[in-house]
Amino acid sequence: MAFVVIFIVAGFSSCKKDSPAKSSDEVVATIELSGDQAISDNLNADAENVLNEAAVSNDFAGNTPVGITETMNILGCATVTVSPGAFPKTIVIDFGTGCTPTNGTVLRSGKINITLSDSLRKSGSVAVMTFDNYYVGGFKREGTITWTNTSQGDVKSWTRTCTDGKITTPNGRYWLHSGSQNVTQTAGSQTPFNLLDDVFSITGSHTVTNAAGISRTSEIILALEKKVTCENIDKGSIKTSGPHHYAVIDFGEGTCDHKATISIDGSNPIPFLLR
């Protein structure tokens, strides 16, 4: 789940010895913030996996079961409380002081609080997620995700809006993130209770700001693909732009692995690992 920061700035600087120091500083910030956005996207997808599993397991998904019911078992060690009666509903997903599902590898702790206006897969429904001392794999996440169903006909889609987002790494470094993305389900919509065959396509942009107040805009230039069964985004590209330099992260061509590449200003891509 974490993102391995790669140190390619030295190589960039060695090729740019006549460049001013501020140019190198800009590249450092752009590389770091592009990685931070990649973490944010993966953590957003993880939160939505939790939401979808809670919906299927607690009967507020809004679909008649079709075929087998399969989930990621994210909630195998969590306590889920759903308010009784009709919508709107309040849902609290509590991972306590920390737990890992029996068939999983990601340690989660704290709570996700959700208000849901209607069935999750019903067009027009709105789910608002907030986080109470919530950690995923050692990363603390804060802020609000608003998950608005924009589906039309058989095409399932949502708008994901992040406000006041904040991610803090295990070593205490943090960044802020906000923006809006469009999420379209490209596989698995005909088997709504089998979450393991779900695949999503993501487009849109975010602003990421580090602790020093330096901001970058990250735009998805090739739609990201997120399979529920993959730990990481497995396809697509993000471009993070600074005043004079830009970085492009390429997640590959759809293989479930930890591999990605980064290029600076169109230079040859450098491989690195997602975790």
Cα(41)–Cα(129) distance, rounded to whole angstroms? 15
Count of other CB atoms within 10 angstroms of residue 30: 24
Q: What's the length of the chain?
A: 275
Q: Which domain holds residue 241?
A: 9-273
105 burial type by CB count under 10 A (0-12 exposed, 13-18 middle, 19+ buried): exposed
Cα(59)–Cα(128) distance, rounded to whole angstroms? 18
Is 228 inside a domain boundary?
Answer: yes
**How many domains, in total, are found in the chain?**
1
Work out the angle at residue 9's Cα, subtended by the Cα atoms of residues 5 and 13, and round it to the nearest 5 degrees: 180
The answer to whether residues 162 and 130 touch, using CB atoms and an 8 Å cutoff, is no
The answer to whether residues 224 and 251 touch, using CB atoms and an 8 Å cutoff, is yes
Is 86 inside a domain boundary?
Answer: yes
Q: What is the pLDDT of residue 192?
A: 86
Is 130 inside a domain boundary?
Answer: yes
Is 1 inside a domain boundary?
Answer: no
Is 19 inside a domain boundary?
Answer: yes
Residue 63 in tokens: 């679909």
Span between the terminal Cα atoms of the chain, in Å: 5
CA 60 to chain centre: 22
pLDDT beneath 50, residues of the chain:
1-18, 20-21
Is 2 inside a domain boundary?
Answer: no
Is 91 inside a domain boundary?
Answer: yes
The answer to whether residues 100 and 226 touch, using CB atoms and an 8 Å cutoff, is no
- Best CA proximity match to 185, nearest among 101, 61, 89, 74: 61
Residue 239 sits at φ, ψ, to 5 deg, of -110, 125
Count of other CB atoms within 10 angstroms of residue 239: 18
What is the reported pTM? 0.87
Is 39 inside a domain boundary?
Answer: yes
Strands (E), 10-103: 79-82, 89-94
The answer to whether residues 188 and 195 touch, using CB atoms and an 8 Å cutoff, is yes
The answer to whether residues 128 and 146 touch, using CB atoms and an 8 Å cutoff, is yes
Q: What is the pLDDT of residue 71?
A: 82
Cα(27)–Cα(8) distance, rounded to whole angstroms? 10
